[in-house]
Amino acid sequence: MRRRSHWVPLLFTLVLAIGSMAAVLAAGYRPVLGLDLRGGVSVALKPAHPVSKDILNQAKNIITNRVDALGVAEPNITLQGSDIVVQLPGVKDSQRALSLIGQTAQLTFRPVLESNGTQEVTAPTNGKCVAPTGLPATDGIFPLSTANNPTQCYIVGPVLLNGTIIHSATAGLSTTGQWLVNFTTTSAGSGAFDAMAAKEYHQYVAIVLDNVVESAPQINATAFHGSGQISGSFTETQAKDLALVLSYGSLPVKLIQQNVQTVSATLGASSLRAGLVAGIGGLVFVLLYIILYYRALGLVAFFGLALTFAFIWPVISYLGHTANFALTLAGVTGMIVSIGINVDSYVVYFERLKDEIRSGKTVRSSVDRGFRRAFRTVVVADAVSFIGAVLLYLLSVGPVRGFAFMLGLSTLIDVFTSYFFTRPLVILMGRNPTFTEARFMGVGRGLAAPAVTQ
């Protein structure tokens, strides 16, 4: 009956590990690699002037929404002091992504006073539109270029409305096949937009985004009742980009790009290979040593480490697809370090068994007693590692968190496998003469125990 009781936790642990692995494989999940392992772009955005923590958090949330709309898998967006650090692994068009996430997107509606498309305006000088002689440069009157054609200039008047009246925006095709942006206004902004339309009926109104004229359509109705269209010479990308920044709001502060880092996919793959070679190489040497030293018990450590991997893989695969967890080079390092922690637990147990043997006990009588005494040491050691991992995770940012997470996860799995896998397996082996008295790989050989008559 006692032997059967040891099979139960052993089989439960194996079924749990194999079942978890099979579940994520069947779902098509696998670990999502971070920026340093699959390439991408990273940028630190610094506010143009000091702002409060609340404004920084608001800007971070808006950037997160924009990045999500871009379809970037597993972005990492964090606050580091007064900077917003954005990591976009696997992004293909890094320039477009960087221009969109940091764009302030201050949208305003301004009356067109003159343009070289409708009336004569001085041509650009040194890339800038110059107002005609005699035109006042005060009271909010500015010469602006268009987004798509720098040689097309507009003289625009004071702001009529700002972008806060926009509720949502989407890119679409007109009946003539031209790209445009459909928008809806907020309930409070609907009346203000209709009032502007009635006042500027049959006039041109410039839609100005960050001091650049995106479009200057003619107002063709006196009321829009909460929805309308922004038309112009848009390409598909331009229409979608404009809709994206309008949909997710204006940043509350101007951000300046700093420390832009681009990691190529080739370099990321090279880093991954290096990490895997280091991890596998270290694991092989550790296992060879522990098998030569502890014989059959070394095989227990081998299968225990394989079981740990069978638990870690489903966890990081599942979190990668549900909680935006990306495995970075720091995380791989955490896994490699955890090998030492796991092996230490086996060494503590096996050395405790040696102490029991030296005191005159048999292998059969030592395996259970030795584990009870060794397990206290394992729990204390793992608790220290886990506390350190938690503190590191809470106090750090960026890839270091990946290291702390993997270290903490491996520590918890080590405690679980020690009790529900290592203990019952060693007890069962210690009661079986086939394993205890084998000529070379016997448990007794590894523990330097004298021959035992069962």
Q: Which domains are seen in the chain, by residue range? A: 2-34+264-446 (1.20.1640.10), 40-102+257-262 (3.30.70.3400), 107-250 (3.30.1360.200)
For residue range 260-274, what is the model confidence (pLDDT) as tens digits?
A: 877 776 666 777 787
pLDDT at residue 308, as a whole number: 93
pLDDT at residue 120, as a whole number: 41
259 burial level (CB within 10 Å; 0-12, 13-18, 19+): exposed
- Find where tokens 């702002």 sit: 51
pLDDT at residue 95, as a whole number: 79
pLDDT at residue 421, as a whole number: 93
Spell out, as residue ranges, where the chain has pLDDT lower than 50: 1, 118-123, 134, 136-139, 450-454
- Enter the pTM of the model: 0.61
pLDDT at residue 454, as a whole number: 41
Please give the helix or strand (H or E) that residue 313 lies within, else none: helix 296-322
Nearest to 207 by CA among 161, 170, 175, 239: 161
pLDDT at residue 23, as a whole number: 94
pLDDT at residue 452, as a whole number: 44
pLDDT at residue 1, as a whole number: 41
For residue range 430-454, what is the model confidence (pLDDT) as tens digits?
A: 777 766 666 666 555 555 554 444 4
How far is residue 243's CA from residue 221's CA, in Å, rounded to a whole number? Answer: 22
Phi and psi at residue 303, to the nearest 5°: -70, -30
Which pair of structure tokens corresponds to residue 258? Answer: 């700093």
